[in-house]
A and B are shown apart, each in its own frame.
Chain A
Amino acid sequence: MNRPPSMIRRIIGYVFAVVFIIAGWWITALLVNSPALPTPAATVGVLAQNAPTLVPYFWTSAYRVIVSLVIGTALAVPIAHIFARSRTLDALFAPVLYLLYPIPKVVLLPILLVLLGLADAPKIALISLTVFFQVLVAVRDSVKIVPESAVLSIRSLGGSRWDEYLHVVIPATMPAVFTSLRIGVGTAIAVLFIAEAMAGSTGLGYFIMQSWSMVNYPRMFAGIIALALLGVVLYAIFDVIERRLTRWRS
């Protein structure tokens, strides 16, 4: 209801956070005093200088991570609903899920490289797999807290299964999708970095490690900033969507 004041407060909060981070970065850079960690002021120049070479690598990485987020989610959501719907399936697969979920999927990278080559496919497969498990677990849990009386309301109104989904199940579980995506972005970017650093000659992961081996630290740092930016932007997008979907909770 009182949107303007809370909005202003949030903006002030973000400004503070940015100032704090930049100050911390600056102090650390001065203390470390290494070309591997330029000060924020030097970074602006470094970024501008490396932007033309950097941009294609950035888009490759962005493409991989976004496609993976979409694939992982698109597979996880329906499967989570099927599990939640059928007690037998859930009883059967819950232990499987329980055992597979904590395995860091990134260890499968060598296998995927053997099977899928060095281009986009193994990276997308790996990140999709990571995202898939995160979304699956979150959505499966959220289906269990769908309010029973709301389902009764829909049924007593003569609503169909589809109405149940449209009016109850989807609105009750969508926030969990975006929460798990928001939380999962960090892991997804980390997996992306490892996959690109290890294999192939595209993407920011490769760009960063190549700069490192060339001992071109400003270029390396520009790549790191770009990868961080990718993570922050995706996180912010999911955060905004999640807030919109859960406005009724506040």
Chain B
Amino acid sequence: MDERNINDILFEDVNLTYDGDDGSLVAVHDLSFEVAAGESVAFIGPSGCGKSTTLHMVAGLLKPSEGRVLVGGAPVDQPRRGTAFIPQDLGLFPWKTVLQNAALGLTIRRVSESEARTRAIEALEKVGLAGFERAYPKELSGGMRQRLALARALAMDADILLMDEPLSAIDALLRESLQDTLLDLWLERRHTQMLVTHSIGEAVYLGRRILVFSERPGTVIAVIDNPDVGMAGYRASAEFSAKCQEVRIALANGSPIEVLDGDAGDEGAEVVR
């Protein structure tokens, strides 16, 4: 039909202003970038710079005040079927079982109950949660809850996956294994992926490109190509460290932020305002 892919993402001169009770607030400003179909892009920037806002626009939860957000060449004016969004604190339903949580995307989309069940069980198996179908989120560890949120996206068979700081609540050791899960899933499925993170190591490990945001009003101040993503042993390589350093410098140039070095080299590096 079209020369565009159905699951690429394009921002054209996007501004978003929140109108609150106490005046308006420009969250993102002059935002233009593209995420190609099947690409994984990491977004990093100081907190409050508009990263969540940006994801919400792709998810169809917010409309730009100015400019356009296009998915597959068409403006996003409502949530799209093939887009899975994992919000900042996962958006799990404490009163639903693991299985019901995993099937929710399908339930909302009126997929038949038996099909929803089958697909949810498959997705749970894929993220290593088989056997926990009847548990409630509260009975799961942080890492398992994270996997559950992922299973919900997988069950929907999404071709766009949006994640807002998905691993921020997870301790460092477990975080690496979950990063591997995310990486493997992306390498296998090649969905279009937008990952918001405040961890430099995570951005470099998972983002085929890394977009660095300025302080609010957020805009892209650096685009860092990261072609080695997915390479075996990347995390331990010299290239990885160099790339982290590159991101760190871009962040420091863009805004007066403090960059802390973590104990485990670049891995634990986090951006602090």
Using a CB–CB cutoff of 8 Å, the interface residues on chain A facing chain B are 1, 147, 149-150, 152-159, 163, 167-168, 171-172, 245, 247-249
Contact A150 B78 (CB under 8 A): no
**Once bound together, how far apart are the Cα atoms of A1 and B78, in whole Å?**
41
A149, A153, A158, A163: the one within 8 Å of B78 (CB): A158
Contact A249 B138 (CB under 8 A): yes
Contacts of A150 in B (CB 8 A): 91-93
Q: Which of B103-111, B203-211, B264-272 is the contact stretch?
A: B103-111
The 8 A CB mask of B162-205 against A (1 = contact, 0 = none) is 00000000000000000000000000000000000000000000
**Once bound together, how far apart are the Cα atoms of A171 and B80, in whole Å?**
26
Task: For residue A113, give the distance in angstroms from its CB to the closest CB of chain B.
Answer: 44
B83, B88, B108: the one within 8 Å of A159 (CB): B108
**CB of B59 within 8 Å of the partner chain:** yes
Contact A172 B95 (CB under 8 A): yes
Contact B79 A171 (CB under 8 A): no
**Once bound together, how far apart are the Cα atoms of A92 and B223, in whole Å?**
50
**Once bound together, how far apart are the Cα atoms of A168 and B93, in whole Å?**
8
Contact B93 A167 (CB under 8 A): yes
Contacts of B93 in A (CB 8 A): 150, 153, 167-168, 171
**Within residues 18 to 62 of chain B, which ones have a CB less than 8 A from any CB in chain A?**
56, 59-61
Contact A248 B95 (CB under 8 A): yes
**CB of B4 within 8 Å of the partner chain:** no
Which residue in chain B gives the minimum CB-CB distance to A175? B95
**Once bound together, how far apart are the Cα atoms of A249 and B81, in whole Å?**
31
Contact B94 A147 (CB under 8 A): yes
Contacts of B139 in A (CB 8 A): 1
Using a CB–CB cutoff of 8 Å, the interface residues on chain B facing chain A are 56, 59-61, 78-81, 83-85, 87-96, 104-105, 107-109, 136-139, 156
Contact B90 A149 (CB under 8 A): yes
Task: For residue B120, give the distance in angstroms from its CB to the closest CB of chain A.
Answer: 14
Question: Beyond A152-B91, A159-B108, A172-B95, is A248–B61 a contact (Cβ under 8 Å)?
Answer: no
> 10 A-B Cβ contacts within 8 A?
A153-B85, A153-B87, A153-B91, A153-B93, A155-B79, A157-B105, A163-B108, A171-B96, A172-B95, A249-B94
Task: Count chain A CB atoms within 10 A of each CB in B78, B93, B95 and give the residue with the most.
Answer: B95
Contacts of B137 in A (CB 8 A): 248
Contact B89 A156 (CB under 8 A): no
Contact B61 A156 (CB under 8 A): yes
**Once bound together, how far apart are the Cα atoms of A1 and B60, in whole Å?**
39
Which residue in chain B gives the minimum CB-CB distance to A157? B108
Task: For residue A241, give the distance in angstroms from its CB to the closest CB of chain B.
Answer: 14
Contact A156 B79 (CB under 8 A): yes
B85, B87, B104: the one within 8 Å of A167 (CB): B104
Task: Count chain B CB atoms within 10 A of each CB in A168, A247, A248 and give the residue with the most.
Answer: A248
Question: Beyond A158-B109, A249-B138, is A153–B94 a contact (Cβ under 8 Å)?
Answer: no
A1, A149, A156, A167: the one within 8 Å of B83 (CB): A156
Contacts of A155 in B (CB 8 A): 61, 79
**Once bound together, how far apart are the Cα atoms of A171 and B101, in whole Å?**
14
The 8 tightest CB contacts between A and B, nearest first, are: A153-B91, A156-B85, A158-B79, A149-B91, A248-B136, A171-B95, A157-B108, A149-B87
Contacts of A158 in B (CB 8 A): 60, 78-81, 108-109
**Once bound together, how far apart are the Cα atoms of A157 and B155, in whole Å?**
12
B87, B90, B96, B136: the one within 8 Å of A156 (CB): B87
Task: For residue B224, give the distance in angstroms from its CB to the closest CB of chain A.
Answer: 28
Contacts of A248 in B (CB 8 A): 94-96, 136-138
Contacts of A163 in B (CB 8 A): 108
**Once bound together, how far apart are the Cα atoms of A156 and B81, in whole Å?**
9
**Once bound together, how far apart are the Cα atoms of A150 and B94, in whole Å?**
9
A152, A171, A249: the one within 8 Å of B87 (CB): A152
**Once bound together, how far apart are the Cα atoms of A154 and B137, in whole Å?**
17
Task: Count chain B CB atoms within 10 A of each CB in A147, A157, A247 and give the residue with the most.
Answer: A157
**Once bound together, how far apart are the Cα atoms of A68 and B214, in whole Å?**
60
**Once bound together, how far apart are the Cα atoms of A221 and B108, in whole Å?**
56
Contacts of A249 in B (CB 8 A): 94, 138
Contacts of B81 in A (CB 8 A): 158
Beyond A147-B94, A153-B85, 4 additional pairs, beta carbon < 8 A = A149-B90, A152-B61, A152-B87, A167-B107
Task: For residue B83, give the distance in angstroms from its CB to the closest CB of chain A.
Answer: 7
Contacts of A245 in B (CB 8 A): 95
**Once bound together, how far apart are the Cα atoms of A149 and B107, in whole Å?**
18
Task: For residue A6, give the distance in angstroms from its CB to the closest CB of chain B.
Answer: 15
Contact B109 A157 (CB under 8 A): yes
**Once bound together, how far apart are the Cα atoms of A248 and B109, in whole Å?**
24
**Once bound together, how far apart are the Cα atoms of A18 and B109, in whole Å?**
51
